[in-house]
Structure 1
Amino acid sequence: MSSTALQIVEHFETSVGIPDAEKESCEKLLALYSINSFDDYTWNIFLATSGKRGTLYFSNQYPRLEIEILKASILNMLSAGATLSTCSGRIHDSFFVFDYFESRGFSITQLNQVIFLDFYNYISEINLENWHRNRYLQALQTLAESGEMLGMLNTLSTVSVGRRFKNPSSPKRAPEIQVISQVDNLFFDLNNDIPLGYRVIYFTLRLRTHRISEVLAMPLDCISYPEENVFTISVPTAKETAYHVPVFHQYSFLANGVCESIYYKLLMQQHDYSLSMQVQLKLQYQGYLFVHPKLLRIITVNDFNSYLSELCANNNVIDSDGNATKITSHDLRHINVCERLQSNIISATETMVECNHTSLNQTLGYGYPSKKDEAKHLADITKQIPLFGEQKEVRCLQIPSFKYERLLDDPLTRIIPGYGICCKQNCKPQFEKCIDCDSFFPDPSYRDCFSATIDLLLKRNQRIIQKHGSNAIIQHNEELIRLYQACITTIDAENARKNRGLS
């Protein structure tokens, strides 16, 4: 018979590892991807459908149970279609979680809501960006879900581990055109000493809107010739299917184009170099176009971005304010989209297809230029509009006196002293802000107009109060009375000062 009463548990029994039945199931699942044993701390993974290989490393410095829960999590991710890089990142993030639990003297199997909130507060105090904090929260959630599925969590209730840090809402912006132009000049000037592989990667990223991961995954046989004077490159999408089979997209270039001809020449040189290096490469690095210029492996994202950073620093690349700056491979994708959206040559839909985006909103989100370039672009647009040129005289609409009086009686009609009335209820006129400014001095000839307007507004408020009307309208009229009374006070004070000076 159960009871709703709770008793404190002084000590939890912690298992050494996951149950034998669950471990046997994990062994069978691992056999689909590796010849290694579930107990090994290194898994050499082979994805048969795509031919991709990689190695996953588990640490032996943590309790066996926690590592086995992590291993079960990784197997679930592989079976769900996660890439090897994603799995490797999850392992790394999980080690951070394990370090936290070890510092608190807990096991992950003792996770409860209080411990989760302590972990949340712990990472909130670390100097990290929110996306990085959320990676640790996702790792903890994955471990908690796997532990619960394996029956290893010693908790009396469901633990809510879905809390996340909100990312800033400001959009990612492209680097300044001035910065990109400087880097373009460095790469496109063939006299500059730049490693061939990095130069070809830069050309590929600038001429199309590829992701860096797509470019680095280009195979040796990526070049074809669909017709005379045209060459085509095949680029795999970075968004893989659940079976790790990439979809190849083809991009064509005119072989006699100014930039394209240079690009083709460099592309073939890189192809020949990579082909000559194949016999020296390990199996997992064979078949790719971008072999590292110095090492026996392919170029990585970190390699390319580090080189960009070094190039910008060595060549004093500066922004419009004269500050040293740098770019990343992903910045090139943003600037490419901005250039296409502002050119009016390539449509937004065509850009979306080229980017391999799933929606137009996703493409437009890449189209935010730097704030400096955005200001220049808007200035080019607005300078064609004669906002500050020769102005036509503004004439009020003339209406019969009986209609004017009827509108004047409307409690929502705005009274503009010495000018007329306005019935546009949503209008927030600038002159009211000017009147309230200490630097404003009203024309003394309008004093009687201000006084008459105040009398009309006072009578209007009396009628509204008698009829139990809107308090909002009463307050609005009182604000106008305050403004116009301030004008009268200013005029009277100035007149008094002048009179004292004459006497």
Structure 2
Amino acid sequence: MSALEQSKFSLKVTFQGLLEQQPNEKKAEDMLIKKLSKYSSSPFSDNSWVLNRGTNKSHSDRVRFHMFKKMGDKAVRLIKLFAIVLFERDSSYVYIRYLHRYIKFLSEENISLLQVNKKIFSYYSYWLDSQKKEDGEGYASVYKNKLLDSALTFHTYMNMHSSLVYIQGIESIENHYSKNNNSDKYKVIDENILEKLDTHFMTDESPLHIRVAYWIMRMYATRPTDTLNYPLDCVKKLSKDMGTIKHAIVKNSKSARGIDYKIEYLNLKEPMQKMLYKLIKKQQEVSQELQEDSDKKDFLFTYRHTQNKKIQYFSNQRLSKYFRKLQKELKIPEKARAIPRDLKKTGITMRLEAGWSTPQLKNFANHRTYESLDSYTAPSESFMIEEQRKILLENKDITSRYMFKGRIVNGMDDAFEKKLLENPKAHKISDLGYCPNTAGCGNHYECLDCDDLVPDKELEEYYLEQVDRYLKITEKQYELGDNTNAKDSHHRATLFAVLYNKLHSNGSIE
């Protein structure tokens, strides 16, 4: 098989696809098992595989299968084959970890893998909805999404294996939990919660490696996966006041090792950068001492477990677990709690609100395209309203049809001007302004949209309030998918902005 064919094979591999290439199931299994050596030196028979450097990009450096023993040897073998398929597809093998709940469900309900059909996934959803955590609360939708997704992925990739019932159309089964997550996968962390987290990590109450990871993500809005793959030599001192930091970039890496790097300067006069530099130097010393006995070498986040004294490498799983535990201790409500990835969205959004340009944000966030920034930029409602108001109120070219200060000029009929100035009260329209043609106008229902409407100086703040009010309504309507009414609300915001602009172009009656 050529390198190109091998690449195509890896991207599209499923067990059904393997069966089409091999004469029988055993040959297809053997082909997969041979590929394990690319990712681990552990034999296929082991119930824990130590992964080679480069295979582990985001999680533990081991894949464990002990939790599947209850389902019997055939099930364990099948899940191991599934793990190799994930390796070959360059998919996250976190699916294996989330699969254990599905296996537990099957065991509790006395359902064998050969009995699984489309209906079982609905039952599994009901089962997930009924599960409670230690604190009595149910599973979060994000977690249930991952659990159901892992089960569906397992059956999709391993369909046609004799240990499973063939499920026609398995790939089209919808994960209804994902609807709740796609539009809001990551969130901007509330300022009060962020302050609590910052205060906590300023102290040495947390282990050193966790503090280092937090402040890298907090200051540079890095993905957890990128953060935990920082190299051992990630900071260097150039002079008394200057250093460098080397950022790891795992996603869409083009290097053979699976990690790209970006180097930028550290200003050691700046207190936060100086603090981070010192923390990283301490972690470097810890990691350096453990390198000889570490499975994963030349990385920053190697540490010794405080209880079992084993040398470990900090993983996404452990980071997320610590975040959950900490926020529970800080009495942060569950729905408001952050996950590590939220620090990226928060950091990018804060810089957007501070006026950073799109090219600056793209470079800062280590994104390859501008479009990929969309899921990470979520300006607050107040910021969006302020920005839209700014655009509306600065757009004065379309609003200054005429200006008047004591007199009306530029475009208004002389007769209308005379009538209006002689008796303004007769032309006043409540909460809008003045109509110069109250007697002759036949449309008294569209005054706000009338080009000749004259603003009232006393209503200046009211106009601004209405701009903000309709911009808020616009945002909500777009969120609900009500695009037609959203456009209408935005138009009304524009019209009130027009009146406000006329006032600031000296276009009013005082």
How far apart in 1 are the matches of 2:241 and 2:393? Answer: 43
Gaps of 5+ in 2: 1-23, 132-137, 397-403, 417-436, 451-510
Q: Does 1:267 align with 2:280?
A: yes
1:234 CA drift (Å): 1.5
CA 1:277–1:426 in 2, change beyond 3 Å: closer, same or farther?
farther
Q: Where in structure 2 are the equivalents of 1:319-334 lying within 5 Å?
A: 327-334=338-345
CA 1:144–1:261 in 2, change beyond 3 Å: closer, same or farther?
closer
1:81 CA drift (Å): 1.9
1:75 CA drift (Å): 1.0
Is the 8 Å Cα contact of residues 130 and 167 (structure 1) preserved in structure 2? Answer: no
Aligned to 1:73: 82
Aligned to 1:23: 29
Is the 8 Å Cα contact of residues 22 and 150 (structure 1) preserved in structure 2? Answer: no
Q: Does 1:54 align with 2:62?
A: yes
How far apart in 2 are the matches of 1:209 and 1:398? Answer: 59
CA 1:180–1:138 in 2, change beyond 3 Å: closer, same or farther?
closer
CA 1:364–1:392 in 2, change beyond 3 Å: closer, same or farther?
farther
Aligned to 2:363: 353
Aligned to 1:283: 294
CA 1:200–1:117 in 2, change beyond 3 Å: closer, same or farther?
closer
CA 1:375–1:198 in 2, change beyond 3 Å: closer, same or farther?
farther
Q: Does 1:368 align with 2:381?
A: no
CA 1:186–1:75 in 2, change beyond 3 Å: closer, same or farther?
closer
Aligned amino acid, residue 92 of structure 1: R
Q: Does 1:201 align with 2:213?
A: yes
Is the 8 Å Cα contact of residues 41 and 60 (structure 1) preserved in structure 2? Answer: no
How far apart in 2 are the matches of 1:40 and 1:187? Answer: 39
How many pairs align?
Answer: 383
CA 1:378–1:315 in 2, change beyond 3 Å: closer, same or farther?
farther
Aligned to 2:101: 96
How far apart in 2 are the matches of 1:130 and 1:41? Answer: 30
1:239 CA drift (Å): 1.8
Q: Where in structure 2 are the equivalents of 1:338-487 lying within 5 Å?
A: 338-344=349-355, 346-369=356-379, 420-422=441-443
Aligned amino acid, residue 26 of structure 2: D
Aligned amino acid, residue 219 of structure 2: L
Give the match's secondary structure for 1:284: coil
Aligned to 1:488: none
Aligned to 2:152: 141
Aligned to 1:176: 190
CA 1:138–1:33 in 2, change beyond 3 Å: closer, same or farther?
same
CA 1:182–1:379 in 2, change beyond 3 Å: closer, same or farther?
farther
CA 1:117–1:268 in 2, change beyond 3 Å: closer, same or farther?
closer
Is the 8 Å Cα contact of residues 159 and 166 (structure 2) preserved in structure 1? Answer: no
CA 1:66–1:146 in 2, change beyond 3 Å: closer, same or farther?
farther
Q: Does 1:108 align with 2:110?
A: no
Aligned amino acid, residue 254 of structure 1: N
Aligned amino acid, residue 350 of structure 1: Q
Q: Identity, % of aligned pairs? A: 16
Question: Residues 59-98 of structure 1: CA distance to partner in whole angstroms, max 9, x if unpaired?
Answer: 321133333222222111112223xxx32x3223333333
**Structure showing greater Rg:** 1
How far apart in 1 are the matches of 2:247 and 2:298? Answer: 14
CA 1:332–1:119 in 2, change beyond 3 Å: closer, same or farther?
closer
Is the 8 Å Cα contact of residues 53 and 296 (structure 2) preserved in structure 1? Answer: no
Gaps of 5+ in 1: 1-17, 402-415, 430-503
Aligned to 1:164: 175
